[in-house]
């Protein structure tokens, strides 16, 4: 995960990675669905040694989702732009974060989806 002080930095980094990925490694014809969507809230632990304590978690809202080539591999995956909540432990200095889906899943504590619930079939 990488953090940024402002939106322009985060957006520029995502755009550069997207352009480089498409130029150097064409995407597969089939791609997986993202596990997270724009507007969804996520809570995650920031460091590998940080305990999974909800009071110490970072939190934010996903503002972007891009399907990109995972550098150094033959695989593609989802990368998310996250607006970090001001009340997060690092909220005073970190405003935006970029996270690969696998990183977020490894560190995820909670997730609130905005996907509509499916009607039950009887």
Total domain count, the chain: 1
Report if residue 81 sits inside a domain.
yes
Report if residue 34 sits inside a domain.
no
Report if residue 83 sits inside a domain.
yes
The Cα 119–Cα 10 span in angstroms is: 37
Report if residue 62 sits inside a domain.
yes
The residue segments making up the domain with residue 53 are 2-25+43-112
Report if residue 120 sits inside a domain.
no
Report if residue 52 sits inside a domain.
yes
Sheet with 58-69, strands from edge to edge, namely: 2-4, 96-100, 76-84, 58-69, 41-44, 108-112
pLDDT of residue 4: 67
Nearest to 72 by CA among 21, 4, 9: 21
pLDDT of residue 82: 93
Model confidence pTM above 0.85: no
pLDDT along the chain (122 residues), means of 10: 71 76 71 91 80 79 89 84 90 87 88 62 44
pLDDT of residue 51: 67
pLDDT of residue 1: 60
pLDDT of residue 122: 42
Residue 36 CA, distance from chain mean position: 8
Sequence-distant contacts of 67-70: CB under 8 A, at least 24 apart:
67/27, 67/31, 67/34, 68/17, 68/18, 68/21, 69/21, 69/24, 69/25, 69/27, 70/100
Report if residue 32 sits inside a domain.
no
């Amino acid at each position: 995960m990488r953090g940024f002080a402002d939106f322009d930095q985060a957006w520029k980094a995502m755009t550069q990675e997207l352009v480089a990925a498409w130029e150097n490694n064409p995407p597969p014809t089939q791609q997986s669905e993202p596990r997270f969507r724009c507007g969804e809230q996520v809570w995650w632990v920031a460091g590998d040694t940080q305990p999974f304590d909800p009071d110490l978690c970072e939190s934010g809202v996903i503002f972007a989702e891009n399907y990109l080539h995972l550098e150094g591999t033959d695989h593609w995956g989802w990368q998310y732009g996250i607006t970090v909540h001001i009340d997060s432990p690092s909220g005073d200095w970190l405003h935006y974060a970029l996270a690969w889906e696998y990183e977020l899943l490894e560190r995820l504590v909670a997730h609130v989806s905005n996907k509509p619930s499916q009607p039950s079939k009887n």
